[in-house]
Structure formats: C-alpha cells, structure tokens
Structure 1
C-alpha cells in the first residue's frame, strides 16, 4: 500500500502542474483572443484537449476558474492597499485605479458578457467599497445625503459603464479612468 502513495502523489503533482499550465495559458490567450477555443488553450498550455476537459468540463468552467484566479489576485492587491488608513475618498479612488490596472493587465475582463445579475465575485470588492464609504460618511468626507449601499451600487455601475465604453472603443482606458475619477469625486463629495 505504501508503494501506491508515491505514485498517487506524483500523479497529483502532475495534475496540479497541468491545471496551473492550463490556467496560465487561458489567462494569456484570452487576454489576446477573448473567444479562444479550448483546443487553442490546450495547445498554448502544451497539453491535450482531453487534459483540459479532465480539469474543466467546459469552456465556461475554465472561464470561471480564470475569473476566480484573477479575483483572488485582485483581492490580494486590494488588501495590500491598507484601505483602513488615510482619507476615505482618496482610498476609493485608489481602489478604482487598482481595478483599472487589472483591466489593463487582463483585457479579457472588459470583454466578458454582462449578465444583469450581480456576480458573487463582486461581493468582497463591494464590501470594501461600502466600508470605505461608511467611514467617509462618518468623518464627513463623503456625502451623507445618499445611502452608502446606493453609492456603492452607483460606483459599480459607473465602473461597468466605463469598462463597456473602453471595450467598445469609444474611449481609451486612460480617458475612462480619468473621467471615472472626476465623476466619482463629484458623486461622493458632500
């Protein structure tokens, strides 16, 4: 029985490496070609299409895994910002800047179909925005005329609108970010 353990560990390690390679290839390829096929992703990962299907039952499953990975990376970067210190409004804008850097690094995020529903991956970011806004309302930096949750919803809607404008080629990412800063500042200031 102990002879099987090293074989299982080696197989598990091989499977982990394959999964990691598939995710890395998917991120890189989908950033360049948002409609890339699973076959093309398998080729870029140097694995067979069957190996991709062994880890991800469909293109949607792979896309969700990619989004989970990018969300985790973004949350790590957000937490490194130390948003609990400093002016709340400035920190809201820093959070917006971080989101735009994520869009610039991973253009696939701008090409995802918008469903009307809130994606639960937004929840941790939404929570951080709400904490900042409530803190800013408490200190008087951010308007108290509107409920914090409404302001969070507004920020997210503005961010999506800016992203859609960039994806459609109506504005550059830099212009969208600058315009978003101005709009958010005007909405949030008392």
Structure 2
C-alpha cells in the first residue's frame, strides 16, 4: 500500500512538473519540442510519454489548465453596474490573461483543431454573453445583430489584438484601450453616440 501511494504521488509530481515546464516553454517558444519540455521538467521522454501519449495531448492539457486558471481570474472581475463600464473592466482583465498566455494560444492553434480551442473558450465566452445580454436588455448594446455574432466579435477583437502585439504593431499597454474602443463602437446601438472608453 505505501509503495502504491508513493508511486501515485511521484506520478502526480511528474505530471505537475511536466505541465509547469510545458507551460513555461510553450509561452517562450510555441514550437518547443517534447525533448525540450522533458528536460525542463527534469524527466525523461519515456516518463513524459507515459503521462501524455503525444505532444498534441500535452499541449491540450496545458491549454486546458491555462483556460481553467483564466476562468478563475476572470471570476474576480466585477461585472455589476453599467454594462459598458463592466465591459471595460472585463477587457482589461481578459487582456491581461491573453497577453500572458498568447504564445500558448499560438502553440494550441498549431496543435489543436479550431473547434477544440473554441470549446475551451466556452466558459469565458459564457461570461461575455451574459454581459452582452444584460447590456442589450438595458438598451446600451445593440440588439439588431445576433448575440452569438457579438460574442464572436469580442473573441475576434481580443485575439486580433494579441496577433497585432506579436507582430509589433500594437503596444501591450495600448491594447486594452484599443480593444474597448473597438468593442464599444461595434456594440453601441445604431444612431446612439459611442461612449469614450472608461
């Protein structure tokens, strides 16, 4: 019994070390190899493959963990009050998460099918949908376009900003304001003045 428990604890430590190393390596280099990750984790390739059958499976596990952590961080965002101000707060927090893990997203996009990446964004997008629905009910966000389309616009603008940052065409500290201004322009009902980003 103690031997089994010890092996299980060792396996859990190995998995945690592999995921930590993979996350750190993929953030620096989205094409990091399994050998690089195993070395960084202090385990052999055989041990790594004993827990993750392929690099794709490992990238998926790292991305799942990153999305779970992002969800926890975004849970702390105050989405009460005026929906437009709440949008600005959500963009600020979302951008921080995206900025910290944008190269991990690149790794995921190279390894995983687009529908898998979209599925893993379901919880954050549910939060966006809820905020948009409230803003539409309050009359501050447009209701003439499908809500799902507006959620897709949010997702596309935030990730587009990450691409622009990676290309050197957008500064990290300017991104939240640019994203918020773009989204407010897209979400404001036709004919209403577009509010300045808060």
TM over 0.5: yes
Give the aligned partner of residue 50 of structure 2: 54
TM-superposed CA distance for 1:107, in Å, is 3.6
Count of matched residue positions in the alignment of Structure 1 and Structure 2: 185
1:157-176 paired onto structure 2 within 5 Å: 157-176=156-175
Give the aligned partner of residue 121 of structure 1: 120
For the pair 1:147 / 2:142, whether they are aligned, the reply is no
1:32-51 paired onto structure 2 within 5 Å: 32-51=28-47
Give the aligned partner of residue 181 of structure 1: 180
Give the aligned partner of residue 6 of structure 1: 2
Report the TM-score, using the length of structure 1 for normalisation.
Answer: 0.88
Distance 2:36 2:104 in 1: 19
Of residues 72, 77, 83, the one that matches 1:76 is 72
Q: Structure 1: which 5+ runs fail to align?
A: none
RMSD after superposition: 1.8
Report the TM-score, using the length of structure 2 for normalisation.
Answer: 0.85
1:60-99 paired onto structure 2 within 5 Å: 60-83=56-79, 85-99=80-94
Contact 1:32 1:108 in 2 (8 A): yes
